[in-house]
Structure 1
Amino acid sequence: MVSLVSSTHYLGIDVGTGSARACVINDAGEILALESREITRWEPKSEYFNQSSNEIWDAICACTKKAVVVSNVDVSSIKGLAFDATCSLVALNEQDDSPVAVGPDFSENDQNIILWMDHRALDQTNAINATGHPLLKFVGGKMSIEMEIPKVKWLKENMDSAVFKNCKFYDLPDFLTHKATGFESRSYCSTVCKQGFVPVGVDGSVTGWDKEFLTSIGLEDLTEDDFRRLGGVHGKNGHYTFAGETVGNLTPKAAAELGLHEGVLVGSGVIDAYSGWIGTVAAKSGDEEVAQPKITSSDDDMHLVANRLAAVAGTSTCHLVMSKEPVFVPGVWGPYRDVIFPDYWLAEGGQSATGELLHYVLINHPAYAEALLHSTSQKISVFEFLNNRLLELKKERNAPSVTYLAKHLFFYGDFHGNRSPIADPSMKGAVIGKNMDVSIDALAIEYLAAVEFIGQQTRHIVETMNKSGHKINQIYLSGGQCRNKILTQIMANCTGMPVIMPRYIEAAVVLGTAMLGAKAASQNKRSLWSIMTQMSGQGAVVKPEQCGVSTKLLDTKYKIFLDMASTQQKYRALVDEAMGDN
């Protein structure tokens, strides 16, 4: 690789559900190196998921060092970095920053993170929502089981009281910034938004933590000393920052562990999905129909992102849209002010399982081993093999569209609950129309039905957002699912919207975080929007197919999709009523 020692470079560091990644970019937003390391996800009990902040930091250090070596840049040319991570809860001892075990038996001190997808706090979530507090309108009307305040409440009710009293809590991106700089700075993104800490006034203004809210849900002890254990009050005993705002330099210890120099400036980090928004929505489509009105680097044009939904896909999928004015959507988190751009609002819908759902469908089918064998021999992924088989079946059966192959298979895929817009963690999966066929063809069609579910639920989220006042007409998809041609086409067909994929489809998140590093290096002299438009490259577009049969079929099955959701709730309510359960 040619050395680019004369350029200025930036680092983005991303912590997802299963791995940590580090990328090195230049001023043009070109990724010069991208390295990753796996991280452990423990499941000590069903729906309990833990991680380790020590292991995550070690993984970050390893992939950062490797990325710098592979990029062949002079380490002195790296001027800024930032972190993104999942919205997971980190527990530390307030006196010495040592990790605190988060259960369920509290014997593993190194397991001090409750992962975002953990569902242990169902009772605590229900209790919080039962208060009907006005601040809940900023989380879609009710708090999600995946947020962090229910997890903190679970810890208070299950942890030794003396241990809990000595705990301080971070969202994972804020912890990493703290680890790197030594500062107790917290980002608006990590604390104002979906964690459920809700440090905003009822009107959305950033006024600090709400003592009455925390007291009403049984966490009054966290209000002590101006909310010290949650990050304090801005300008008094705490410091809150916008996305990419310069927090400070690396500490000597962190610099040595990362293989960097102490002059590197660290920007305020964000949740991984929000980095996906940053690394996606300024991408150029190369399609005039989609690209109008044309977005430039002028900050006056930032309002044009209001019609661009970022769908950041991975284990789950997050759906983010920005607006100049607040738009409240039932079952959708937010709107949150200032989490990326000052005075702009961001709302987030989501699917709790998408990549995880497809993986589940595959590995639990009797024909999976055979499909894996075929895909390995052909040196392609299982998804690509199944996609190819579906195209063959379409031709063999003279079907008018691929979706026609699953016309009588009705798949509802909320196996891990519904994040948006139903916002019900008790939702489960259901399949109607399944027979006893266990062949590869049966696997391909069931997989197709799961892909269709992802597209239909995306439509449900987008339509719910637009009915409430958003004006979405384009979907910016990122993540490995972009490589799945059938999935992207079905998503476009279900929503009736073009699906735009950025230059680095599987690295949009970490690229967005590197852009925050560039903003930090500018010491806040450049706007994040100008950096995004400079560093976002050319994308690709998938348009909805003009196929009357496919459109009619998907529209009909969308009605069935909605009916399956409401029928499941009806059945559950009937049984609960008969049993006298709430």
Structure 2
Amino acid sequence: MAIETAAYFVGLDGGTGGARAIITDLDGAVIAMATHEYQTTFPLPGWAEQTPADWWTAACLAVRKAVRSSGLNPADIRAISADGTSSTLVALDRDCVPTMPAILWMDNRASPQARRMMETNDPALRRSQLGVSSEWMIPKILWMKENRPEIYERSRWFVEMTDYLALRLTGLLTLGLNQITNRWFYDPRRGGWPQAFYEKIGLGEITARFPQNILPLGGAIGRIAPEAAEAMGLSRDTTVVCGGTDAYVAMVGLNVCQPGKTAFITGSSHLVLPMTDQDIEVPGIFGPHPDCVVPGLFVMEGGQVSSGSIIRWWHDHLGKIAGSGPDTYAQMLCAAEEIPLGADGLIALDFWQGNRNPYIDYDLQGALWGLTLKHTPAHMLRALLESIAYGTQNILRALDRHDVSVETMVICGGATRTSFLVQMHADVCGIPIIVPKVQEATAFGSAITAAVGAGFYGSLAEAAGRMVTESHVIEPNMGRHTRYDEVFQFYQDTHAALQPLMHRMARRGEGKSVSNIDSGLHAPTENAVPLRQSAF
């Protein structure tokens, strides 16, 4: 009788606020979890930057802490896979050292470049019919070429945060198929890189600066580098597996690997990600992105730039008004929950870093109107929370108008910590929301991906079907849904009324301060990461 060998897997999530490491077994049981935060800087309005060295430090500390607390023999931890925030631009020199701070996903400085790209009407834009997102990698690279030419010339390679973590884990330069398909205009079904489009926008030679080793989600990269194994407390025999965009990896962690299922990712931003077998284009929604999670299937994407980040802003700057106890988040959300539906006439817009979908307009800003002397800070927070839920409903309405019907969503992320927020989204959207047993679905999805890359499962769908378990379902209150629908109309009308003013404000400030800030002129200090072998 054969004796089964112990097998455990590390999922490493490079999030907006920090690194999270999770260790699971083959059945999806969570053995240990640990986190370590890092900082974001905001040099100018609409800008957001991070330091890649901070990611690596946090990743090593989080994994090492999880390994230590698990009590496992490191030799039994078979594989690790890392995901990261999407379209966080990392520019590297020939020695693979960053040439400037990473431009974070939420940074919208490349809005002018994104608008110019859309004006080309190139066939490469078919998956973003109403506009190119200024968050995406190609607009950011073009911004760098036009505004920081000296750094652009020093930058030999352009990669995502996920690819950078894989580089530090293995010493190998790779690109993940997942993120280049949904963020770089790469189309594996239409010839790969859109060379003609790149030439039109002034980046004709850019593909020479992309690593040539492209791997699918769940593809094995190689063994962990000795220095990475030492820093993380892992065995040198650990396999490193290609990850991808955090939210798309979370689809695996939510078992959204079949047509008709939809992932609802909450956190600093929200994402609605339906899986479909139909090659359907929906104006205002990104996609359909082919083969980027499950081969043969497509992902549609609707996202909100600012959701949990708004709640965090309120907490950090105004949370003390809720009290001085140990959990000011809970106190302030309880205060908002006591306010009547509709916030006694206050209406807010959740466009604090622009709107990703369905307007694809990064010149929009947040707003709050209807204030009277009756209103309290709790009213304002209630209105902000409702605006986040209306932003989600706005995406679902755009999908429904084009026969992509979302009948339920599987949720993960920060909103799951507060039943009030999940119930609000169910009520506003009018659909059930499924809550899985493991709610840290992004790191969990990376662990599942690691199990596939190490050969313990034959596919992501098989692994997710075995490892993911449902906890409970939040049903909508349809009476509240009807009342929310009335306020939602004010939300949409407020956007229509304020959009021209917001565009004027954006034009007023555009380009004024770029020359006044030395962002990226001095690269962060960081040890070089030597390549172990040719990977091009």
Tell me the TM-score normalised to structure 2 length.
0.89
Asked whether the 8 Å contact 2:434–2:470 carries over to 1, the reply is no
Q: Is the 8 A contact 1:244 1:517 kept in 2?
A: yes
What is the deviation of 1:134?
Answer: 1.6
Runs of 4+ in 1 over 6 A off after TM superposition: 573-578
Residue number in structure 1 paired with 2:482: 552
8 A Cα contact 1:494 1:554, kept in partner? yes
**Corresponding residue number in structure 2 for 1:159:** 148
Q: Supply the RMSD in Å over aligned alpha carbons.
A: 2.3
Report how far residue 255 of structure 1 moved.
2.1
Task: Give the one of 208, 211, 230 matched to 2:195.
Answer: 211
2:293 to 340, 351, 355: 340
Q: 1:117 to 1:575 in 2, by over 3 A?
A: closer
1:238-264 deviations in Å (ceiling 9; x for gaps): 232221122221122322232212221
Match of 1:398 in 2: none
State how far apart, in whole Å, the 1-side matches of 2:73 and 2:506 are: 64
1:230 aligns to 2:210 (yes or no): yes
For residues 274-307 of structure 1, give each alpha carbon's deviation from its aligned partner in whole angstroms, at most 9, with x where no partner exists. Answer: 122111145xxxxxxxxxxxxxxxxxxx54x42x
Summarize the Cα distance change of 1:215–1:556 in structure 2 as closer, same or farther, 3 Å threshold: same
Instruction: Indicate the residue corresponding to 1:497 in structure 2.
Output: 431
Q: In the alignment, which of 454, 458, 480 is matched to residue 521 of structure 1?
A: 454
1:574, distance to aligned residue in structure 2 (A) = 8.6
**Is structure 2 residue 396 aligned with structure 1 residue 462?**
yes
Identity %: 26
Give the conservation status (yes or no) of the 8 Å contact 1:139–1:335.
Answer: no
1:165-564 equivalent positions in 2, closer than 5 A: 166-194=155-183, 197-200=184-187, 205-222=189-206, 227-231=207-211, 238-281=212-255, 303=258, 305-306=259-260, 308-365=261-318, 368-373=319-324, 376=325, 379=326, 381-389=327-335, 402-403=340-341, 406-437=343-374, 442-505=376-439, 507-522=440-455, 526-547=458-479, 550-564=480-494
Unaligned runs of 5+ in 1: 102-110, 232-237, 283-301, 394-401
Contact persistence 2:270–2:392 (CA under 8 A): no
* TM-superposed deviation, 1:573: 6.8
2: distance between equivalents of 1:34 and 1:572?
43
Equivalent residues of 1:327, 1:469 under 8 A apart: no
Contact 2:85 2:162 in 1 (8 A): yes
Residue 568 (structure 1) aligned with residue 498 (structure 2): yes
Q: Secondary structure at the match of 1:248?
A: strand
Could you tell me how far 1:46 is from its partner in structure 2? Answer: 2.8
Task: Indicate if the aligned counterparts of 1:383 and 1:484 stay in contact, CA closer than 8 A.
Answer: no
Q: Specify the SS of the correspondent of 1:270.
A: coil
For 1:228, the aligned partner's letter is: A
Letter in 2 for 1:221: E
Structure 1: distance between partners of 2:26 and 2:47: 42
Tell me if the contact between 1:249 and 1:262 (Cα under 8 Å) persists in the aligned partners.
yes
Distance 2:13 2:119 in 1: 35
Correspondence for 1:285 = none
Give CA deviations for 1:132-170 in whole Å, capped at 9, x if unaligned.
Answer: 212112234421011111110111112244752542100
In 1, the alpha carbon distance for the partners of 2:398 and 2:214 equals: 32
State the partner residue of 1:84. Answer: 83
Given that residues 412 and 429 in structure 1 are in contact (C-alpha distance below 8 angstroms), is that contact kept between their aligned partners in structure 2? Answer: yes
| Residue 162 to residue 32, structure 1, CA distance change in 2 (3 Å) | closer
Contact 2:99 2:151 (C-alpha < 8 Å) held by counterparts: no
One-letter amino acid of the counterpart of residue 251, structure 2: W
Partner-residue secondary structure (3-state), 1:269: coil
1:24 aligns to 2:4 (yes or no): no
Change (3 A) 1:219 1:121: same
Q: How many residues were matched structurally? A: 504
Q: How does 1:47-126 map to 2 (within 5 A)?
A: 47-87=46-86, 88-93=88-93, 95-101=94-100, 111=101, 113-126=102-115
Q: Which has the larger radius of gyration?
A: 1
String of CA shifts for 1:190-212, please: whole Å, max 9, x gaps.
Answer: 11112xx2122xxx615221211
Deviation of 1:534 after TM superposition, in Å, equals: 0.9
Whether the 8 Å CA contact 2:130–2:359 is kept in 1: the answer is no
- Cα distance in 1 for partners of 2:441, 2:32 equals 14
Q: Is the 8 A contact 1:335 1:346 kept in 2?
A: yes
Q: 1:137 to 1:477 in 2, by over 3 A?
A: same
Residue identity matched to 1:504: V
Q: Which residue of 2 aligns with 1:294?
A: none
1:556, 1:118 → 2: CA distance?
33
Distance 1:561 1:162 in 2: 42
